[in-house]
Structure 1
Amino acid sequence: MNLTPIKGRWQHYRYLLLFLLLFAFIQPGTAQTTSDEFRTRPFLLAINRPEGSLAYTYLSLIYSEVFKRLNMAFEIKYIPLKRGFENVASGKLDGETTRVFTYQDSHPTLIRVTESLYSTNVSAFALSDVKLQLHGWNSLIGHHYKVEYPRGVYISELNLNKVVPPEHLSMIKTATQGIKKLLIGRTDIFIDDELVVYPLLDSLKDFSANTVHKIGVMQPVPLYMYIHEKNKWLEPRLSEIIKEMKDENLMKQYRKIVFNF
């Protein structure tokens, strides 16, 4: 029996299989990092709070312990929210310090670390003479207040666009600018993370004779670390370490140290 045609076909299929396997590994954007790569460079994390802020300090304490347990170097880079996402989505940076649970739904190149870091409240703030009380996003329906929030805060953007008319809704680059505009009466309500706003109220108490108070919690929010898909091999260990730290009560200890509450 002449087996040459069969051998020829087998060689053809073998080369085709090898080509397909090679193609799968060299597609742009799909190459994974390895532990060896992080022996020569730090893991780069985007943060949306400026260096020197209490939120930056709090997250630095958390991630210092996380990466100590990973035995890896890391570096936190302050980048505004939108640009931070673009850098992480493209793989220029390795991850983001905090985002909400649903963030992954619209950002497919990012992987959410399963265990949340901690929870906070997204709350509404106004001048002390404003007697309005809010309870969740829908409580803004029907009002005509000028509402502002920091650009790139996904959960605020998602919900406020549903309940506040466009002509009454604005974004600001930083929370500091938002509180200052509130204090001088250019806006009526400012919405952001309590852990960011409360320290600012203390630091800006001499900026204006006006004072600001909380008028309601819009939503309690668990926050998660996100990593680029090329680093997905790290996710199980990151989740395990974060859970260990929460079980050891470290997140609350760091919060007490930094925020004193």
Structure 2
Amino acid sequence: MSRFIMLMALALVTNLSFAEKITLANGEWAPYLSKGLKHNGYISHIVTEAFAEEGIEVEYVFLPWKRGFEDAKSGKFEGTLIWGYNEERAKDFMYSDVVAQLGTSLFHLKDKPLTWDKAEDLAKYKMGGVIGYAYGIEELEKQGVLKVERIGKDVGNYKKLAAGRLDIVLEDTEVGHETLNKLNLADKITADPKTLKSRNYSVIFSKKSPNAQRLLEAFNRGLKKLQDDGRYQKYLDASRRGEYK
């Protein structure tokens, strides 16, 4: 019996030591993703736990969004998080089930309210965004109906808005309010009550990775487990309470 127990213990140790490890490119997008947050933000926490359910350990490499995307595209990393769907990206990546559904708010000066009903009405405003971010109006940009001045970091957009050099900053609602508080601009800038169409975000896996399909399926299984047992909502609620700071 003792020999059997020893063999079982050895097998367990062996399995643990050979647990699969993967590397994903990550980016700064607090409160969802950030190197400076607990568990790297609640979305990173969800992704980590979903893979852990399938015996996969995740290491994150935080990079500027464009670089992380390109490195994952080339196969340097198995994938990257989190990204909205578009046909161009889908040529090089496989999309997981939806990890987050987010909407875009239109931040503006409180003394300069906006008037609009549909996205096309925003053509009369100077809008700012961040390079590589999807706001749900990309098709209108391609058609030349809307123009968005994009820069590398969102902070610069809010400063330009406060100085009157922009009319609108496009930003996820929760992210925008958090940034305004950090910059002490919440008394001057607010979000329009209406938001643009919500967008679905996923973990994307590089088609250059030979394990892309298997990792995609494993992640989706793990994500469903988190949703079913309540951990997904638990982590979201914790983030809203500021527990990841």
CA distance in 2, matches of 1:149, 1:253: 30
Aligned to 1:147: 127
Q: Structure 2 length normalisation: TM-score?
A: 0.77
Q: Give CA deviations for 1:157-179 in whole Å, capped at 9, x if unaligned.
A: 7245146555xx31021222222
State the one-letter code of the partner of 1:188: D
Aligned to 2:11: none
CA distance in 2, matches of 1:198, 1:72: 34
Number of residue pairs matched by the alignment: 218
Q: Shift of the alpha carbon at 1:181?
A: 2.1
Q: Work out whether residues 20 and 55 of structure 2, in 8 Å CA contact, stay in contact via their aligned partners in 1.
A: no
Instruction: Give the helix-richer structure, 1 or 2.
Output: 1
Q: Work out whether residues 67 and 74 of structure 1, in 8 Å CA contact, stay in contact via their aligned partners in 2.
A: yes
Q: Structure 1 length normalisation: TM-score?
A: 0.72
Change (3 A) 1:208 1:122: closer
What percent of counterpart residues are identical?
A: 21
Q: Shift of the alpha carbon at 1:89?
A: 0.6
Aligned to 1:81: 65
CA distance in 2, matches of 1:149, 1:75: 29
Superposed CA RMSD: 2.9
Q: Work out whether residues 109 and 190 of structure 2, in 8 Å CA contact, stay in contact via their aligned partners in 1.
A: yes
Match for 1:256 among 222, 237, 244? Answer: 237
Change (3 A) 1:213 1:192: closer
Q: Secondary structure in 1 aligned to 2:213?
A: helix
Q: Give CA deviations for 1:2-60 in whole Å, capped at 9, x if unaligned.
A: xxxxxxxxxxxxxxxxxxxxxxxxxxxxxxxxxx9x94874211223142269951222
Q: Give CA deviations for 1:162-201 in whole Å, capped at 9, x if unaligned.
A: 46555xx310212222222222322110112223212112
State the one-letter code of the partner of 1:108: K
Match for 1:234 among 206, 209, 215? Answer: 215
Match for 1:212 among 180, 186, 190? Answer: 190
Unaligned residue ranges in structure 1 (runs of 5+): 1-35
Unaligned residue ranges in structure 2 (runs of 5+): 1-14, 29-33
Q: Shift of the alpha carbon at 1:126?
A: 0.7
State the one-letter code of the partner of 1:150: V
Looking at CA atoms only, which structure, 1 or 2, has the larger radius of gyration? 1
Pairing 1:99–2:76 present: no
Q: Work out whether residues 20 and 56 of structure 2, in 8 Å CA contact, stay in contact via their aligned partners in 1.
A: no
State the one-letter code of the partner of 1:131: P
Aligned to 2:227: 246
